[in-house]
Amino acid sequence: MAIIDSQVHAYEANTPNRPWHSVPNWPDHVTGDEMVAAMDRVGVDGAILISAFSLYRYDASYALEVQRAHPGRFPLVKPVDPAAPALGAMRWSGEATAEHLRRLRRTLAALEVPLTLERAPWELRRSVGIFGAYREGVGQLVGALRETFDPAGVLLAPLGEPVHNFLRPHIWVLRGLMYLLGIWLIEFITGWLLRRLTGKCPWDYSHFRGNIKGIITPQYAPVWFLFCLGFERVHDALVKLTPALKSVLF
């Protein structure tokens, strides 16, 4: 099994030939050869080389030299200047194949021209990889992260997604009552803890009939009952929108 370090920096000493933009509390130099030697000593096969922004800003020339001097050891991540005149985006028209786009990506990476691919299907964008900002070898890493993105899961998990999945097959009256009990439980625990920690609960239902310790009241039961059943519709909409949200965000 190959051992890969997720982030390393390689840089020369601060000299007039390649001056640093700032002087962090780092060793005087960690050249590419020194980094490879250190990796070999501890059995690291490769590492993602991050061009040191605090030292060189948008100039990734030294990191590129290190990558070329040690092929196969350093996938490279370089910063992209958002104000660079070469920065742009390409809109997919439906004609270019994945292989054509891969060749274009390699050409642009060699020229250091950052470019994004817009309006292409998700499967095509994933198969082509990353344009511009990431060089060869890192696209698969980012692609794996993209595959785990699920907007519906991210937004709904804190709101009780497991409870929803369990209750959804049951009759709506039972679902509404169970949601209501869950809301009351959360409201009571939260109010009780706030009162113990701060001496005061932000809300006070002590003047409502049937209240429990002034923290919850049955008079809001119809509101919570209908709200939770209505939120099921929001859940369904988010599930349907997940593919479109992935396409927009990535």
pLDDT in tens, 59-102: 889 999 999 999 889 888 887 776 665 555 555 556 667 777 66
181 part of a folded domain: yes
pTM for the whole thing?
0.39
Count of the separate structural domains present in the chain: 3
Looking at every residue in the chain, the average pLDDT score rounds to 76
Which of 128, 148, 168 terminates a domain? The answer is 148
Which of 77, 97, 131 terminates a domain? The answer is 77
Which pLDDT belongs to residue 125?
63
Same domain, 94 and 160: no
pLDDT single digits (tens) 10-43: 999 999 989 999 988 899 999 999 999 999 999 9
Compute and round to an integer the Cα radius of gyration of the chain: 27
Q: How confident is the model at residue 128 (pLDDT cuts 50, 70, 90)?
A: low
Looking up tokens 């059943």, which residue turns up?
A: 229
On the question of pLDDT at 180 being above 50, the answer is yes
d(CA 99, CA 208): 68
Domain span at 95: 88-148
Same domain, 215 and 237: yes
On the question of pLDDT at 115 being above 60, the answer is no
Same domain, 92 and 34: no
Same domain, 36 and 99: no
Highest mean pLDDT pick, 42-51, 161-170, 197-206: 42-51
Q: What angle do CA 140, 141, 143 make, to 5 degrees?
A: 60
3-state secondary structure of 5: strand
